[in-house]
Amino acid sequence: MKVLVMRTGAMGDVLHALPAVAALRAARPEWTIDWVVDPRWSPLLVDGTGLGPLVNRVHLADTRLWSRAPMSWATLRSVMALRRALRMERYDLAVDMQGTLRSAVIGWMAGAKQLVGYDDPREAAARRFYSCRLQRSGAHVVEQGAALLSEATGVALTAVAVELPRETWAADWAEETVAGRRVCLLSAGGGWGAKRWPVERFGELAKRLREMGFAVVVSAPRKEDAVATEVVAASGGAAEVVVCNVAGLIELVRYAKLVVGGDSGPVHLAAALGVPVVALFGPTDPARNGPWGPGAVRVLRDAASATSYKRSTETEAGLARISVDEVAESVRTLGLVEL
């Protein structure tokens, strides 16, 4: 059996799809399981040599290029190269775990014997491409993904903890960066402004965390990242920026004692790796999109927060009401602070 999974991004979404695939890998180790992913997130699936614990191979879909220059020759060449690579594999089954028009088209391009997706995909146009549409089942997206993959393959699946690839160079870099300190990583970014706790609060929290004995770092994908820079400035030097790519972030989180942040990739990464998490939620529902994994998780969400995926720029009002005191107390309940 050759199975293709479509889930191109983003980081948290790929991580939420992985527990279903991990369950399938455990149940059917002899099957071929491949994945279509944006190059940015491939380190979540395979190492630099193309090997990973859960998938046989990844196909790279350069979605940033496609969005930036949809009518360019570069995009056309990229799409056609992906189509050729997918067709060569002759998949028995393609499962769209993303539910967008783009992911459905990728599945259709693969030419699998069967293309399966949700009956209510994120983008309604996607369902036209599915040869089989399945009802969504489960509260959390991890549970939904396991149910979808289970019904699509005919294999009884329950989501399980995942294993992520390891890179020796990244592990060495992370160990050198941590340097034996009790590191708390702050994830101050997010997909859009409404999901971001104010940088001033993160700055104040960094001061509190340092008093608790943590070395506080703020992860950033690039040196000039505005949010990370503002948090460090607001912390008065209590925090420092650590710039890393996804492979480096995976290893940095492995070494961390705690991760605090909003509904963001690093928070979901920490949960997947079993690192203690304090997650701050506002417009997104933690019952559906919250951190999922084997470690200790504390989720804070104001009772007045309403679920909305509208990509507004201002911090959602309920999220803005979460205080530094509440977050600090949640950290203490994890038992990581010596009293």
Instruction: Compute the Cα dihedral for 87, 88, 93, 94 and give only its sign.
Output: negative
Q: What percent of the chain has pLDDT over 90?
A: 95
Range of the domain at 182: 168-333
Model pLDDT for residues 75-127, shown as the tens digit of each residue? 999 999 999 999 999 999 999 999 999 999 999 999 999 999 999 999 999 99
Pair 119, 187 in one domain: no
Same domain, 6 and 121: yes
Q: Are residues 197 and 93 in the same domain?
A: no
pLDDT of residue 175: 97
In a domain, 159, yes or no: no
Q: What is the 3-state secondary structure (H, E, C) of the chain?
A: CEEEEECCCCHHHHHHHHHHHHHHHHHCCCCEEEEEECHHHHHHCCCCCCCCCCCCEEEECCHHHHHHCCCCHHHHHHHHHHHHHHHHHCCCEEEECCCCHHHHHHHHHHCCCEEEEECCCCCHHHHHHCCEEECCCCCCHHHHHHHHHHHHHCCCCCCCCCCCCCCHHHHHHHHHHHCCCCEEEEECCCCCHHHCCCHHHHHHHHHHHHHCCCEEEEEECCCCCHHHHHHHHHCCCCEEEEECCHHHHHHHHHHCCEEEEECCHHHHHHHHHCCCEEEEECCCCHHHHCCCCCCCEEEEECCCCCCCCCCCCCCCHHHHCCCHHHHHHHHHHCCCCCC
> 182 and 124, same structural domain?
no
- Is the confidence at residue 311, as pLDDT, over 90? no
Residue 337 is predicted with a pLDDT of: 79
Q: What's the domain count of the chain? A: 2
Determine, yes or no, domain membership for 37.
yes
Check whether residue 136 and residue 202 sit in a common domain.
Answer: no
Report the distance separating Cα 110 and Cα 89, nearest Å: 8
Q: Please indicate whether residue 43 or residue 309 has the higher confidence score (pLDDT).
A: 43
Q: Give the end of a domain, one of 91, 121, 153.
A: 153
| Segment 20-46 mean pLDDT | 98
Res. 339: pLDDT tops 80 = no
Residue 193 in domain: yes
Q: Pick from 119, 153, 187: which residue ends a domain?
A: 153
CA-wise closest residue to 185 among 209, 211, 221, 161: 209
Q: Are 45 and 54 in contact (CB under 8 A)?
A: yes
Whether residue 206 sits in one domain with residue 89: no
- Alpha carbons 270 and 268: distance in angstroms, whole number: 5
237 pLDDT more than 60: yes
Please indicate, yes or no, whether residues 24 and 139 belong to a single structural domain of this protein. yes
31 with 77, same domain: the answer is yes
Pair 38, 103: CB distance under 8 Å = no
On whether both 175 and 320 belong to a single domain, the answer is: yes
Residue 160 included in any domain: no
| Sign of the alpha-carbon dihedral angle for 204, 205, 209, 211 | positive
Task: Please give the average per-residue pLDDT across 284-300, as a whole number.
Answer: 97
Contact 132, 152 (CB under 8 A): yes
pTM: 0.96
Q: Is residue 119 part of a domain?
A: yes
Residue-wise pLDDT for 133-171, tens only, equals 999 999 999 999 999 999 999 999 999 999 999 999 999
Nearest in space to 36 (alpha carbons), one of 82, 2, 74, 81: 82
Indicate the residue among 127, 153, 179 that finishes a domain. 153
In a domain, 286, yes or no: yes
Q: What angle do CA 60, 66, 67 make, to 5 degrees?
A: 125
pLDDT digit string (tens) for 169-223?
999 999 999 999 999 999 999 888 999 999 999 999 999 999 999 999 999 999 8
Q: Are strands 57-60 and 258-262 parallel, antiparallel or unpaired?
A: unpaired
Q: What pLDDT is stored for residue 338 in this prediction?
A: 66
What is the per-residue pLDDT for 309? 84
- CATH number of the domain residue 124 falls in: 3.40.50.2000
Residue 31 lies in a domain: yes
Same domain, 63 and 120: yes
Task: Please state, rounded to an integer, the average pLDDT across all residues of the chain.
Answer: 96
Residue 289 pLDDT > 80: yes
Question: Does residue 158 fall inside a structural domain?
Answer: no
Q: Are residues 175 and 316 in the same domain?
A: yes
User: ω before 228 within 30° of 0 (cis)?
Assistant: no
Tell me: do 129 and 227 sit in the same domain: no
Q: Which residue has the tokens 């060495």?
A: 172
Q: List the structure tokens of 18.
A: 């992985």
Q: Which two tokens stand for residue 48?
A: 């630099």
